[in-house]
Amino acid sequence: MKDNSESLPVVDIFTDGGCEPNPGAGGYGVVLFHPKTKQRKEADGGFRKTTNNRMEIFAVIAGLEMLKQRCGVTVYSDSQYVVNAMTKWVPGWKRKGWWLSKTRRPENVDLWQRLDALCQTHQVEFHWLKGHAGHLENERCDQLAMAALRNPNLPADYGYENRSQNDSVRPDMQEGDGCYKCSTPLMKQAPRSKPKRGYYYEFYLWCPKCQATYQVESAKRAVKEPSLLL
């Protein structure tokens, strides 16, 4: 996957996050390591109320946000949730405009979007590391996270505390939006089927590449019932 035409500074980022209880006070710990210069940096932080998974994601965000220039990064996380999301799930979520269904967004969508943007800036590979298995940097991240969540006066994780604001309804698709399957801009097409009793669709959206079709609410029109007297 690495693009060899570009020689970027190389950084390893080790991350861990946790909560006590879950949900509850949470902390994250990060170790940045430059294999060439042997430079090593640590960072940590916490929130008064959050979740284990959010702290695992946030640890990676905090690590990447410390980089001052575009880097080639290998992230080592002991969270299968983070590694699976970034290697398997996020591309599909993005194609669907970060919606799982008409009324459901992926959990922690605010953090996934932030992390995804950082992965556009940097060239990032994700590796899963077995946690609490004696890996020194992973153990150190765990220590940092656990110490951070015990700090008094932790700030709010607004993305968690105001998470109900994410619950809404997916906006209707428009002409020109990306196909959920292949991201090609959608086109309007005239319907082939006859109007159903009561309503019909004035147009539907069609993908010129993979031929997927999408019915949209904004195209729905009421049919006037013919008068029985005529």
Instruction: Give the active site residues.
Output: 16-17, 56, 78, 132, 142
User: Contact region for Zn ion (CB under 5 A) — 23-31, 80-88, 98-106, 201-209?
Assistant: 201-209
User: Least distance (Å) from Zn ion to the CB of residue 186?
Assistant: 8
User: Least distance (Å) from Zn ion to the CB of residue 148?
Assistant: 45
Among positions 100, 118, 212, 219, the unique one binding Zn ion when judged by CB under 5 A: 212
Give whichever of 35 and 208 is closer to Zn ion, judged by the CB atom: 208
* Alpha carbon of residue 27 to chain centroid: 20
Q: Site for Zn ion (CB under 5 A): how many residues? A: 8
C-alpha span between 213 and 230 (Å, rounded)? 37
User: Least distance (Å) from Zn ion to the CB of residue 206?
Assistant: 9
Question: What residues from 105 to 144 belong to the interface with Zn ion (CB under 5 A)?
Answer: none
C-alpha span between 89 and 98 (Å, rounded)? 10
Contact predicate 62/45, CB 8 Å: yes
Question: What residues from 171 to 190 belong to the interface with Zn ion (CB under 5 A)?
Answer: 179, 181-182, 184
Among positions 62, 71, 207, 216, the unique one binding Zn ion when judged by CB under 5 A: 207
Question: How far from each other are the two terminal CA atoms of the chain, in whole angstroms?
Answer: 69
- The H-or-E segment that residue 53 falls in is helix 52-65
Contact predicate 49/22, CB 8 Å: no
User: Least distance (Å) from Zn ion to the CB of residue 217?
Assistant: 20
152 prior amide bond cis, ω within 30: no
Contact predicate 88/121, CB 8 Å: no
Give whichever of 166 and 183 is closer to Zn ion, judged by the CB atom: 183
**Binding of Zn ion at residue 64 (CB under 5 A)?**
no
| DSSP-derived secondary structure for 122-144 | SEEEEEE--TTSS-HHHHHHHHH
* Residue ranges binding Zn ion (CB under 5 A): 179, 181-182, 184, 207, 209-210, 212
